[in-house]
Chains A and B, each alone.
Chain A
Amino acid sequence: MTMNRRDFMKVSTAASGSLVLAVSLPGCSTIKTGFEEETGQWSPDIWLELTTNDEIFFTLARVEMGQGTYTGLTTLVAEELDVDPARIKVKFAPVAPEYRNPLFGLQLTGGSTSVASSWKPLREAGASARQMLVMAAARVWKVDAADCTTQDGRVVHPNGIDSLRYGQLVELADKEVIRGDVALKPRSEWKYIGRKGGRLDTEAKVTGKAGYGIDVELPGMVYAVMTRCPRYGGKATGFNRSDVMAWPGVLDAFITERGVAVVADRYWRARKAQEALNVEWDFAEAIDLDNDQVFEGYREAANEDAGAQERSDGDFDDAVENASRVVEAEYEQPYLDHAAMEPMNATAWYRDGAMEVWAPTQAPDLARIAAARHSSLSPSNVTVHTTFLGGGFGRRLTQDYVEEVAIVAYKVKKPVKLIWSREEDVRHGFWRPAMLHRMKASFKDSELTGWDHQIVGPQILDWYVRNAAPAQYPWAPQFLYSTLGRVGLMAEGVATPKDISAIEGAIGYPYQVENVSVRHTHTDPGVPITWWRSVGYSHNGFAVETFMDELAHEAGEDPLLFRRKLLANEPRHRAVLDRAAERAGWGTPLAEGRARGIALFKSFGTYVAQVVEASIENGEIKVHKVTCSVDCGQVVNPRVVEDQISGGILFGLSAALFGEISFKNGEVQQSNFHDSRVLRTHEVPEVLVDIVDSDIEPTGVGEPGVPPVIPALGNALFALTGKRQRKLPLTAG
């Protein structure tokens, strides 16, 4: 059947009286839903726009930092809309309440939550739009909508021959009403979910066309660099301004809350003038500690304060009293750097009483607060444009670099880009906290009867509220920030959750032991910290799975079998453990000088077991092979899962082998990739990723690859040398 103009007119008129959009969300001026005649564009919901020219735009509310949201979330919407994901153009979301991550109440990408939190709403968004297009076509054809089908961007007539493009239907579809829930495709009908589709952003990333924060270009833009106090907390009180201003191209130089800013017409000119800086610092509130003092402080705190009881099964003291043997160990883990390849940077433009920010940020709404912090602006006067991120790993959840550029932009009133050097990136980070773990276990004969885990160190939310509070309560004294931060966030409709950043992974101890005690001794040396890929799971994974290995050895049992028999009620744990062991050939002979280690850890809802095969060659640790089994529920794109898990494994290995930020008199001792190393290609082991087939709701994959590999490698080295390493990074000696 051919559509004629009269049919369209008739339907349009007939349909004009009824207009309800089931999936459109109210409230925000930056979000428009409905059909716009001028642009020929239909936005059935906050995520989708379809045009009369058959273009489809999807608004991505979880940033793309390499973890694959650009592809994964687009696939969800495409599946239900019934179009090839490659046909969809992706736009990065503006800041709006509708784009908040429901798990945090913030527009934030982190915690390996993007697929889990989008799984249902995005498929429903796609399905609703598709349903309305089908209903519109059915009305045109005067057939039953239930008899129509769709095929890659077209609605197909029940006769199987005629079809209408989505673009021809968008204006009519806008008038359709969906009553009740929209049906989602059954798993058997999926065309894109679960397939090894290519990533949608690949071509842009191999041609240099993908736009990262550092690539933002604005008319009349100037460049800024910031000299920060070498010791965190110190303040600039004076500097040789006339010397600096004499350098070519320098436009301004001034003291800010974050250090001394130098602004020039060229980036390189700003850098050169920066070298001429001589800053007077006030160190009154600056940190002044050495690395050893951090752990001495932790030990003192651990001795004085047993800590908050975070989990208590049975009676651990009782278990110790009745024990035939008690085993104890203490683990030290250092501060860790994120080392995203794109150094911290942001661009801002203050004009007409409003600020625009372009930033590679994991938390655009927190960027708004940060940008407004040192100005007369309120966060609602700040617009944030998100770009591609050259890595995030949690570092870009902290908005210090946005705060800096906003301070400069507010003063110079020109578009300004502020770029950190790598040295600044390494020395002025917010780190994975250094942590101390005290472990104690009791055996009654050969049975493990008690487990006590004391975690000693800071928690991350303290730093977050400290940063958020001053924006909301500039009049308040600093000692109130922690309290006010929580209150303030709640006033904004964001409930501050219980901070489990120090204890996550420890409280979820999965092994069947009658008496389990997990405690957190809260102590904070004042070194800035933030989320780091896998957060608390990273250090708890090492402590729990290394100690389990120690206990297996104490019990004279195979580390695999020792774990396995304590997992009778944990089928998903056991399944990945068995699969990894089998695929790695656990228990089979190895080449001489090699050994295997095993570890199992659930994080972010995902179960991961790994077997590492390692040796020591020429005085260096060599990792030959990592065999990994992962259960993350339903897989959206197996290739992305594989990449995220193997990427996490390499991230963890870098930490295990090299990772350490250390301090002397409050100053960071590392500076660039030569002394703050990450894994290079010749050091990369063979990595096998085995994914469990599952139709359980999906869980995250960005982070769970990291935690098990560190203890698995340590356990392999123990098997190799008989020497237990209780301090990271691991050494060959």
Chain B
Amino acid sequence: MALSLTVNGQHYSLDVELDTPLLWVLRDELNLKGTKFGCGAGLCGACTVHVNGQPTRSCSTPVEYLDGAEITTIEGLSENGELHPLQKAWVAEGVPQCGYCQSGQIMTAAHLLANTPSPSRDEIVTAMSGNLCRCGTYSRIVAAVESVVDGVGHYEPEQGGA
């Protein structure tokens, strides 16, 4: 059955089985490999993308609920070739080790800042607690988010972005 999706601003009409999780549609049909498979059960957050602006575990979200949805993945976070402020902060803070979980971490953080422009440390930690990092980059992640908050004072989400 045909499915209509807008991913990173681009419209797609796809013929996939409707119980297919969004993750595999993104990765294998659209070749957007930045979103990662970690647990298949919504427990680790590696597959986090935005669906209509909400952070969503794409590994356990069948596409049948997503007809007409607007989806943003890590590949769509930066605009006009410029890194998103969070991506810049991740680079400046030197967050990633193996890096596998970081797409999901950044997407979760981007949603936090889009809705809570000046989060406290506790709010950052709470928002990020659903995303696992086995390398243990947690404190650098919190510092990177804080640096964006501090640097901008008030984070302005871009129109149509996160």
Contacts and interface: CB of A to CB of B under 8 A. Distances in A.
Given A673-B44, A673-B132, A422 B96 contact: no
A306 interface: no
B162 interface: no
Chain A CB count within 10 A is highest, among B31, B73, B83, B102, for: B102
A390 B91 contact: no
A422 B41 CA distance: 9
A390 B83 contact: no
Nearest to B35: A208
A390 B99 contact: yes
Interface of B is mostly: loop
Size bracket, chain A contacts: 35 or more
B139 interface: yes
A142 interface: no
Q: Which of A208, A210, A343 has the most CB of B within 10 A?
A: A208
A650 B43 CA distance: 19
Interface stretch (A227-235, A407-415, A582-590, A678-686): A678-686
Contacts, number: 175
B136 A679 contact: yes
Interface stretch (A64-72, A93-101, A377-385): A64-72
Contacts of A65: 98
Contacts of B35: 208
B24 A388 contact: no
Interface string A319-353: 00000000000000000000111110000000000
Contacts of A210: 99
A393 B78 CA distance: 32
B115 to A, nearest CB: 18
Interface in B78-123: 78, 83, 87, 90-92, 94-103, 106
A339 B130 CA distance: 16
B20 interface: yes
Interface residues of B, number: 58
B84 to A, nearest CB: 9
A337 B110 CA distance: 31
Given A208-B34, A208-B75, A341-B134, A646 B98 contact: no
Interface in A289-334: none
A198 B20 contact: no
Contact of B87 (A206, A272, A339, A392): A206
B148 interface: no
B71 interface: no
A477 to B, nearest CB: 40
B39 interface: yes
A678 B132 contact: yes
Contacts of B78: 207
Interface string B34-69: 111111110110100000000000000000000000
Nearest to B74: A208
B150 interface: no
Interface in A252-290: 266-269, 272
Interface string B10-29: 00000001011100100110
A391 B98 contact: yes
B159 interface: no
Contacts of B135: 66, 341, 391, 643, 647
- Centre residue among B36, B98, B141 by max chain A CB count within 10 A: B98
A208 B36 CA distance: 9
Contact of B17 (A269, A639, A678, A684): A269
A648 B134 CA distance: 10
Contact of A208 (B33, B94, B125, B126): B33
B75 A680 contact: no
B41 A202 contact: no
Given A248-B17, A341-B101, A201 B96 contact: yes
Contact of B126 (A204, A421, A673, A682): A682
Contacts of B96: 66, 199, 201-202, 205-206
B138 interface: yes
Interface string A641-655: 001101111110000
A5 interface: no
A672 B91 contact: no
A66 B97 CA distance: 4
Contacts of B142: 681
B127 to A, nearest CB: 9
A214 interface: yes
Interface centre among A206, A211, A217, A267 (most CB of B within 10 A): A206
Given A651-B136, A681-B129, A202 B24 contact: no
Given A66-B99, A343-B37, A674-B41, 16 more contacts: A199-B94, A206-B99, A207-B75, A208-B34, A208-B35, A217-B31, A248-B17, A340-B100, A341-B135, A422-B41, A646-B139, A673-B43, A674-B43, A679-B136, A679-B138, A686-B139
Counting from the closest, the 6 A-B pairs by CB-CB distance are: A208-B34, A66-B98, A390-B100, A205-B99, A650-B136, A66-B97
27 contacts: A66-B99, A68-B97, A202-B95, A204-B99, A206-B96, A207-B78, A208-B33, A208-B35, A208-B73, A208-B103, A217-B33, A268-B21, A341-B46, A341-B98, A341-B101, A341-B132, A342-B100, A391-B134, A422-B38, A422-B43, A643-B137, A651-B136, A673-B44, A673-B132, A678-B134, A682-B125, A684-B139
